[in-house]
């Protein structure tokens, strides 16, 4: 059963990675990052049960805390960029390019 959970986690992670690469809307890109974090948590929980050791669940817990903080800051940045540039597309924020 462990393998099943790990394959599911890998699939979700890869789908999230594809989303980050393909999508242009900054909010959707952010959601895909959240999906990748969730996939990692699933792997942590699976390994915790596999090894009979609670450390994996603790790490997953910390990942959730950090993800919550990251979402707050990231969305604040997106809102700020949207206010000044009137766009939530990642292609439009290229001021540092040249």
Q: What residues numbered 8-67 form the site for other proteins, per CB under 8 A?
A: 8, 10-19, 21-25, 27-28, 30-32, 34-35, 38, 41-42, 45-46, 48-55, 57-58, 60-62, 64-67
Q: What is the DSSP letter of 51?
A: H
Where do runs of H (alpha helix) occur along the chain? 2-22, 26-51, 55-85
Number of residues that bind other proteins (CB under 8 A): 72
Residue 71 as a binder of other proteins (CB under 8 A): the answer is yes
Residue 83 as a binder of other proteins (CB under 8 A): the answer is yes
* Rounded distance between C-alpha atoms, residue 16 and residue 70, angstroms: 17
Residue 96 as a binder of other proteins (CB under 8 A): the answer is no
* Rounded distance between C-alpha atoms, residue 83 and residue 98, angstroms: 23
């Amino acid at each position: 059963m462990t393998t099943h959970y790990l394959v599911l986690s890998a699939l979700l992670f890869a789908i999230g990675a594809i989303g980050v690469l393909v999508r242009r809307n900054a909010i959707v890109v952010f959601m895909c990052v959240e999906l990748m974090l969730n996939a990692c948590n699933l792997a942590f929980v699976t390994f915790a049960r596999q090894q009979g050791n609670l450390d994996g669940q603790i790490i997953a817990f910390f990942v959730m805390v950090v993800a919550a903080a990251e979402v707050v800051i990231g969305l604040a940045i997106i809102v700020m960029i949207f206010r000044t540039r009137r766009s939530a597309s990642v292609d439009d924020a290229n001021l540092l390019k040249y």
